[in-house]
Amino acid sequence: MNKDIEYGTGSWRNSSIFTIAIDIGGSLAKVIFSPLHLGRLRFETVETERLKEFMQLLHDIINKYNNGSQKSTIIIATGGGAYKFYDLLQEEFPDVISIKREDEMQCLIKGLDFFIHEIPEEVFTYNDIDGEHIVVPEHAKVYPYMLVNIGSGVSILKVDSPNKFSRVGGSSLGGGTLWGLLSLITGARTYDEMLSWAHRGDNTNVDMLVGDIYGSDYGKIGLKSTNIASSFGKVFQRGTQHEPEQDEISAETSTKDIQARYRKFNNADISKSLLYAISNNIGQIAYLQAKVHNVQNIYFGGSYIWGHLTTMNTLSYAINFWSQGGKQAFFLKHEGYLGAMGAFLNAQEQTANN
Amino acid sequence: MNKDIEYGTGSWRNSSIFTIAIDIGGSLAKVIFSPLHLGRLRFETVETERLKEFMQLLHDIINKYNNGSQKSTIIIATGGGAYKFYDLLQEEFPDVISIKREDEMQCLIKGLDFFIHEIPEEVFTYNDIDGEHIVVPEHAKVYPYMLVNIGSGVSILKVDSPNKFSRVGGSSLGGGTLWGLLSLITGARTYDEMLSWAHRGDNTNVDMLVGDIYGSDYGKIGLKSTNIASSFGKVFQRGTQHEPEQDEISAETSTKDIQARYRKFNNADISKSLLYAISNNIGQIAYLQAKVHNVQNIYFGGSYIWGHLTTMNTLSYAINFWSQGGKQAFFLKHEGYLGAMGAFLNAQEQTANN
């Protein structure tokens, strides 16, 4: 996915200094830089644990786009890895002007603020029925808003102005949970494999719906028979007809036999169910935090979203369902690069001031 | 676990009618009845899908405790299964006086109200540090409260008085999700097996902690290095040192080989991680709902809890963490029987009035 931004020739090179901004998260490391004289921003992502590959990418960028000159390069880093891998970065790039560390929250907000206000066609709404709609934010209405940043885990920030924000909550059930559990169950090796399963799966084969419990709608409390009552609620059932009774199970029944009984659920259905469960849950927590803090607009960022329609539809649906239409979910074309963008802008300001 | 309640000889038999109350949920069917002349309530649980076994249990109860007389027996039913299996119950027990259906929410609240006010040593607080403390509810302080009922899924009710309550929310991430996912991953056949794994596991082998991302605390926002940043966040990592590089993987690499790479995570660690994830998440949503509705006391009910200390500690910890000590989590000795208890009491009132 090409995410390059063109933004006026040379405007990203307001000094002779070459800036590489990096945001090293728990699972993914994001990189932003501006190729010499092109007036363009480039965006790259590498898995954090492929640390060698990541370092090589930074070397390649300096070699290709700054004539191999570390001496005129600044690396500006944010995310947890900016702290964890700081010494390693210094060893790897001993000749750069500096390696700076920037606060993650400040960078996220600065990056988001920039994308919202400066980049056309960046913000959009999405749901499966209405499709994608580009939003032109009316500046006056932007604050306060909520940023729900979904990476390996989830951080929820309330933003009152560019310089006034706080982390109001979060969740450990994020992208790392989805991909971790799915890879454990399915043996999948790539995000794309799991996403394509999720796309074609039918969650009703593993989820227990309201109708599975009631046989019909539970009208009194407004639950439709198609609402999910329990994610994966159909899995741990022993299927009495197709199975020996307890006393028929011999001591020799192997773990393999037992496991085989549960293998009747397919990867596609499992993937869709878990994508729904995690996305719905994030949507609900985001809604509740927005309600507690009296905020109407909720921006979803972070690499978890990855432009994936089912994910965005589920998040939008959750916000709309819980708020009864009172709150709005927004998405961003550069959803994964908020932190790196903020760090890049910080560096631009710092070098401009020197 | 013997949950019998003694409550004054004969006081449960205020008429010649023998009452069996049942609450048929998505995963478990709960039964309450009072053996003749014993002044005692008995509590039983069967898995809902073992429908034959469940019906046989009801026959056995009538045979043993009401001289086999359907003609002097009332069955009063609540939960989704009261609707789904209504016809089946009528076929199975054609000679009982009646089979009544009662609203699930009303029964839950009525049952909870009874346990709180009438049964000594029923309500308690628990955390791993302070242990269990029996609570004597001061009546004036009881309302309003929140009931978080955790079965296959989660229902959250706000209770203003015995007759004024509403369902304010819920979550599809409940007991069905924990047991479903765990049985898929581990092949476990019983709750007890999974609970004993969860007890001895070490979640830090699969969860990504704040310290795994930052290398230290993220002091600025008050996150300790031991906080869970991403549940299962360590699983979907490719472990570059121990694995062939991408171009070395031949087309013959079987699914089995790929799965084997992910089998380095053991069942105990996985079980603890998922128990933490689900319980923490319920705790957080419960706190947020209590905050939105300005309620201080939160009662946790439902068979998910099952007297399990790690579960209660996690729920208590979440409420305390998020509310900074401002809200209190309460548990109940008969946590799984709120709905059945309410139905039983409804039947007692109805037969007393006849």
Let me know if residue B214 belongs to a domain: no
Flag whether pLDDT at A333 surpasses 90: yes
Let me know if residue A65 belongs to a domain: yes
Contact residues, chain A, for B233 at CB < 8 Å? 26-27, 152-153, 172, 174, 176-177, 180
Regarding whether A70 and A10 lie in a shared domain, the answer is: yes
Nearest residue in B to A216, CA atom: B84
Regarding whether A179 and A88 lie in a shared domain, the answer is: no
For residue A238 the two structure tokens come to 């022993």
Let me know if residue A347 belongs to a domain: yes
- Give CA torsion, residues B283, B289, B293, B297, to 10 deg: -10
Name which of A27, A216, A285 is nearest B288 (Cβ-Cβ): A285
Q: What is the mean pLDDT of residues A168-172?
A: 97
Q: What is the mean pLDDT of residues A167-189?
A: 95
Q: Is A270 on the interface with B (CB under 8 A)?
A: yes
Confidence band (pLDDT; 50, 70, 90) for A351?
confident
Please tell me what DSSP assigns to residue A335: G
Regarding whether B99 and B49 lie in a shared domain, the answer is: yes
Regarding whether A342 and A289 lie in a shared domain, the answer is: no
Let me know if residue B50 belongs to a domain: yes
Let me know if residue B303 belongs to a domain: yes
Could you give the CA distance from residue B223 to residue B287 in angstroms, rounded to a whole number? 19
Q: Is the dihedral of CA A9, A13, A19, A21 positive or negative?
A: negative
Q: What is the mean pLDDT of residues A98-114?
A: 96
**How high is the pLDDT of residue B136?**
82
Flag whether pLDDT at A215 surpasses 90: no
Q: Which residues lie below 8 Å from residue A222, measured CB to CB, with a gap of 6+?
A: none
Q: Which residues lie below 8 Å from residue B205, measured CB to CB, with a gap of 6+?
A: B234, B265, B266, B269
Summary mean pLDDT of chain A: 89
Beta carbons of A235 and B184 less than 8 angstroms apart: yes
Regarding whether A102 and A57 lie in a shared domain, the answer is: yes
Could you give the CA distance from residue A243 to residue A319 in angstroms, rounded to a whole number? 42
Regarding whether B92 and B19 lie in a shared domain, the answer is: yes
Please tell me what DSSP assigns to residue B223: B
Q: What is the mean pLDDT of residues A170-182?
A: 97
Please, what's the largest Cα pairwise distance for chain B? 80
Nearest residue in B to A150, CA atom: B230
Let me know if residue A165 belongs to a domain: no
For residue B92 the two structure tokens come to 């199975």
Q: What is the mean pLDDT of residues A84-89?
A: 96
Q: Is the dihedral of CA A49, A55, A61, A66 positive or negative?
A: positive
Q: What is the mean pLDDT of residues A274-302?
A: 97
> Among B183, B159, B103, B191, which Cα is nearest to B301's?
B159
| Helical (H) or strand (E) element with A277 | helix A267-292
**How high is the pLDDT of residue B244?**
39
Q: Pick the residue with more confidence: A282 or A35?
A: A282
Contact residues, chain B, for A109 at CB < 8 Å? none
Beta carbons of B277 and A274 less than 8 angstroms apart: no
Flag whether pLDDT at A133 surpasses 60: yes
**How high is the pLDDT of residue A12?**
59
Residue B10 backbone phi and psi in degrees, to 5: 80, -5
B156-175 burial: b if 16+ Cβ within 10 Å, else e: bbbbeeeeebebebbbbbbb
Of chain A residues 97-156, which have a CB less than 8 A from chain B?
A: 103-105, 151-153
pLDDT per position as a tens digit, A15-65: 689 999 999 999 999 999 998 667 789 999 999 999 999 999 999 999 999
B100-129 burial: b if 16+ Cβ within 10 Å, else e: bebbbbbbbbbbbbbbbeebeebbebbbee
Flag whether pLDDT at A314 surpasses 90: yes
Q: What is the mean pLDDT of residues A212-240?
A: 83
Regarding whether A11 and A90 lie in a shared domain, the answer is: yes
Regarding whether A343 and A311 lie in a shared domain, the answer is: no
Regarding whether B102 and B42 lie in a shared domain, the answer is: yes
Let me know if residue A216 belongs to a domain: no
Cis peptide before A144 (omega within 30 of 0): yes
* ipTM of the modeled complex: 0.91
The total of structural domains in chain A comes to 2
Q: Which amino acid is at B326?
A: G
Regarding whether B315 and B181 lie in a shared domain, the answer is: yes
Beta carbons of B313 and B272 less than 8 angstroms apart: no
Q: How far does Cα A72 stand from its chain's mean position? A: 33
Name which of B212, B277, B285 is nearest A26 (Cβ-Cβ): B212
- CATH assignment at residue B279: 3.30.420.40
Let me know if residue A13 belongs to a domain: yes
Regarding whether A188 and A306 lie in a shared domain, the answer is: yes
Confidence band (pLDDT; 50, 70, 90) for A141?
confident
Regarding whether B182 and B101 lie in a shared domain, the answer is: no
Per-residue pLDDT of chain B (354 residues; tens, 9 = 90+): 578 887 654 455 556 899 999 999 999 999 999 986 677 899 999 999 999 999 999 999 999 999 999 999 999 999 999 999 999 999 999 999 999 999 999 999 999 999 998 998 999 999 999 999 999 877 557 899 999 999 999 999 999 998 899 999 999 999 999 999 999 999 998 888 999 999 999 999 999 999 999 988 777 777 899 999 999 999 997 543 334 334 334 444 444 554 455 558 999 999 999 999 999 999 999 999 999 999 999 999 999 999 999 999 999 999 999 999 999 999 999 999 999 999 999 999 988 766
Q: What is the pTM of this model?
A: 0.91
**How high is the pLDDT of residue A11?**
56
Q: Pick the residue with more confidence: A286 or B140?
A: A286
- Domain carrying residue A345: 5-106+337-353
